[in-house]
Chains A and B, each alone.
Chain A
Amino acid sequence: MLTRRALIKSLAAAGCCSLAQLGLGGFVAQAATSGRRLVVVLLRGAIDGLSVVVPHGDPKYYAIRAAIALQPPGEAGGVLDLDGHFGLHPALEPLLPFWQGGELAFVLNAGSMDETRSHFDAQQYMESATPGVKSTVDGWMNRLLAALSGTDPSRAISFDEPLPAILSGSMPVVDMPLGENWLEPDAAQSDPFKAVYDMLYGGSDPLSLAYQQAALARAELLAQLAVHADELARAGGSGVAAFQQQARLIGTVLAESPQNTLAFMSFTGWDTHVNQGNGQGSLANLLGGLGAGLGDLAAGLGNAWASTVVVVMSEFGRTARENGNHGTDHGHGNAMWLLGGPVAGGRFHGEWLGLDEASLHEGRDLPVTTDFRAVLATVLADHLGLQGAALAQVFPGFAGALPGIVHGG
């Protein structure tokens, strides 16, 4: 049993408020009123935003990226034109209909005002939403879960393993093993073993509470997800194919219950210091998987796509110029992507300053003109209806906004 499960991934499910008290009541509580959903996709490793939203109308772009520039629209491997100046990477073609339908927007030059070029610190800041403060113990999506559960019982879904920092915190969030035999009862929860462990972990110490939460959440999820046995079995592993399968599954599961409000996915491998390629190559392969996966997410959501916002972000951008290895090094500003029915799409948001050396951060990177929290806070306010103290609880000490990026509820 165990060896077959060696490669399984996890499904994280957050309990609603009542799970904290280890009761089942919350799972059958009243339906959430809004039915609105938020999916966050974190691209770990710092994606090269200039290869996603390509300023093909700017000769400077071709001057500073001799080897890795994307060709202009109409040429072989050329970008898909968006507005005459910017184009979309051709591998992201599955997303073009969303742009044309007004359901895809980019916030240009977004990111964290903290200037770190450390992947690890920058990811931590994106997940805690407290740039520059390392002592924050919880993730902003966990705080969001707490804020939402005050009125509507909400659950967060994630396949990341172990549970990512963005979902960690005081709200109980439980990751669940998945894989080809995910439905088989685990030994620890089967006879004769379960009775031993129930006895060992029947107390109220942290380890016992963790055991009890996991056992309860697993049982609950098995019941809820039993209809997806086949998809769950295939959703293991990592990489491009797994991302697509997990994206579709997350979309499907979100659509099934209005309590399934939040989802988080991460996708690693964007640290393209070497030979990133252009219309083809390693970055194009990753983008192909990402684009198709986001399309699958939308397909899985079905009608719920109309009430879902998807935010795609990365810890920072990469150097505007290519480096000596046909790649790019750690930079600063980047594009944030917004997808979904409520998005004010088919247009760019934020402030674009061009690629002149004087406009670049430290003469080398895209600047940050929009704090990533302004984008997130606006989505939470205008889409999920979070206001005042609840919003301040999710983004402590931050009051910015970027009005107009989503159509208000």
Chain B
Amino acid sequence: MADDVAAVWHLMNRAALGPAPGELAAVAAMGSRAYLMGQLDPTSIPEDADLERRLNRLRTTRLDATAAYRHTGGIPLLPITQTIGYVRLAVLARQLMMEAQHARLMRAVESRRQLLEVMVDFWFNHFNVSASKDFTMIWIGSYEHEAIRPHALGRFRDLLGATARHPAMLGYLDNWYNTDPQSPGAQGDFTGYNENYARELMELHTLGVDGGYTQQDVQELTRILTGWGINTLALITKVGDLFQFDESRHDFGAKTFLGVPFPQGGGADEVERALDILARHPATARHIALRLARYFVADQPPEDLVTALAQVFMETDGDIRAVLAALFDHAAFWERSPPRLRTPYQWLIGLCRTMGLRVDNHRPLLGVLAQQGMPLHDAPQPNGYSLERSFWFKPAAVLARLDVVSWFAANGNPLSRREGRVQRSELVQEYLHEPGVLSERTKIVIAAQSDDMLRICALLGGPEWMMT
């Protein structure tokens, strides 16, 4: 059943990163429901063969965390204060990051599995690690493809567990240092408790800051997480997996976490148990529901939507796909007004998709994102970037975006030596003839222009591409 184009435009800008050339009409013909069913099951969508071929050429993006570390030649990570400059200079570490970023941007712009790309953006930001902290850049790629991407539409508990075991997270939030000071393994840089990960695990990743935990819970979770970290011997010998639970640094005493007794003598099983408790906690369901509703719908989403999503989260044991299906079934998702500003990432990827650009050189995109205050994989703090669009609504940002539009309009495809983009005149015609996308004012401004370059500026510089 064919759908109203205006509704499809709305859908493609919220559940995807904007329509590719011709896609608006194609999805309208197929129907929104069929499109979403496909997107919720990304393996059912055949990926573009040329895109797969080019992704395969980025060979370091297939390395897991341990192999990625070895690829750098085993940069000495200890003691940490002496290695920061070293890592910055390390060409191979930078190559890992650059290839990971190229793969991310190529997929975001060119992949047909758009909802998956949207959720990778959402979950990476939710479980943020920052490339510029210490040696995190080595693991940006493996973190995204081992911990985030496989579970982005899966179960929350699996996603949480995968991030909790990844060296990127263990390094970024310092848990690899977290040690019972009385334990036999306490020595050198590993001599005491470190609360950093325990706190953010509750505040940001699961319960939310108002989720009802206390400082006592932070301390108890810190004790539970002692010894949960990176295998420092493997860092030196380059043999064995990097993730390790080090019993010799674990606090085996009895604990009480969120009111639940943890009897004396528990080891790594305590961490799994704590993650189970957190992943299934009603406060977590509510926190994730609120964040999804904020990401997809509104800065202050309607309460009935948040409640409904939290309920599905609880009933399905955190099945992300089921929660998203409920979101897409809710009337609030389809509400078109008031329009929301796109984040710099959504806006830039959306522009590239509209023009059908082939991303052979991703570096200009990294530059634009950094200049717009949203550098890729490098949100400065553990809470990632704000989900509230009002945060991004700054007057100068509007001018900065128009600079970029002008630059795209004046060049063929600045991201590739091959043409790899749709003809300007065809693009303008496509949108002029789709009812319900362009405002009357935008149409008038397009009509007033004397050439295709300026017509593209009027189209892509318009509020329809700034907001969604």
Contact = CB atoms under 8 A, between A and B. Distances in A.
Interface in A153-201: 161-163, 172, 174-177, 186-189, 192-193, 196-197, 199-201
A67 to B, nearest CB: 9
A210 interface: yes
B388 to A, nearest CB: 10
A31 interface: no
Interface in B433-468: 441-442, 445, 448-449, 454, 457-458, 461-463, 466-467
B192 interface: yes
B395 interface: yes
A370 to B, nearest CB: 22
Nearest to B341: A207
B311 interface: no
A49 B382 CA distance: 22
A405 interface: no
B381 A2 contact: no
Contacts, number: 178
B370 A7 contact: yes
Given A118-B209, A177-B371, A323-B193, A188 B394 contact: no
Nearest to A276: B81
Contact of A186 (B174, B394, B399): B399
Contacts of A176: 396
Given A3-B363, A325-B177, A196 B191 contact: no
A324 B181 contact: yes
Given A207-B467, A217-B395, A329-B195, A274 B174 contact: yes
B366 A200 contact: no
B399 A211 contact: yes
A163 B394 contact: yes
A229 to B, nearest CB: 19
Contacts of B382: 119
Contact of A10 (B181, B368, B396): B396
B402 A193 contact: yes
Nearest to B404: A2
A235 to B, nearest CB: 15
B195 A330 contact: yes
B457 A197 contact: yes
B23 interface: no
Contacts of A76: none
B215 interface: yes
Contacts of B466: 207
A231 interface: no
A394 to B, nearest CB: 21
A83 interface: no
Contact of B403 (A2, A121, A172, A192): A2
Interface size for chain B: under 10, 10 to 19, 20 to 34, or 35 or more residues?
A: 35 or more
Given A1-B407, A7-B370, A275 B79 contact: yes
B235 to A, nearest CB: 16
B367 interface: yes
Contact of A324 (B191, B199, B406): B191
Given A186-B403, A211-B399, A274 B80 contact: yes
Contacts of B462: 200
B467 A188 contact: no
B370 A211 contact: no
Nearest to A45: B381
B367 A2 contact: yes
Contacts of B367: 2-3, 5-7
B194 A274 contact: yes
Contacts of A119: 381-383
Contacts of B381: 44-45, 119-120, 268
B445 A324 contact: no
Contact of B398 (A3, A214, A274, A281): A214
Contacts of A211: 395, 398-399, 402
B423 interface: no
Nearest to B406: A187
Interface in A197-213: 197, 199-201, 203, 205-207, 210-211, 213
Contacts of A330: 195, 199
B448 A188 contact: no
Contacts of B454: 192-193, 196
A214 B191 contact: no
Given A175-B394, A177-B396, A277 B209 contact: no
Interface string B386-415: 000011111111111011111101100000
A192 B215 CA distance: 59
Given A121-B209, A196-B449, A189 B399 contact: yes
B13 to A, nearest CB: 16
A275 B394 contact: no
Contact of B194 (A12, A203, A217, A325): A325
B184 interface: no
A189 B401 CA distance: 12
A309 interface: no
A274 B458 CA distance: 51
Given A6-B366, A330-B199, A218 B396 contact: yes
Contacts of B174: 273-274, 325
B398 A273 contact: no
B395 A196 contact: no
Interface string B300-315: 0000000000000000
B363 A323 contact: no
B391 A273 contact: no
A8 B370 CA distance: 9
A32 interface: no
B127 to A, nearest CB: 15
B86 interface: no
Given A118-B209, A324-B190, A196 B458 contact: yes
B240 interface: no
A347 interface: no
Contact of B448 (A117, A199, A323): A199
B354 interface: no
A116 interface: yes
Contacts of B76: none
Contacts of A323: 192-195
Nearest to B222: A329
A162 B391 contact: yes
A273 B406 contact: no
A199 B179 CA distance: 62
B83 to A, nearest CB: 11
A362 interface: yes
B364 interface: yes
Interface string B344-366: 00000000000000000001101
A369 interface: no
Nearest to A187: B406
Given A1-B407, A323-B192, A268 B380 contact: yes
Contacts of B81: 275, 277, 281-282
A233 to B, nearest CB: 16
A326 interface: yes
A109 to B, nearest CB: 19
B178 to A, nearest CB: 8
B403 A188 contact: yes
B248 interface: no
Contacts of B391: 162
Q: Which of A119, A162, A163 has the most CB of B within 10 A?
A: A162
8 contacts: A2-B371, A175-B395, A203-B441, A273-B196, A277-B81, A281-B81, A325-B189, A329-B194
Interface of B: 79-81, 174, 177-179, 181, 186, 189-196, 199, 203, 209, 215, 218, 363-364, 366-368, 370-373, 380-383, 390-400, 402-407, 409-410, 441-442, 445, 448-449, 454, 457-458, 461-463, 466-467
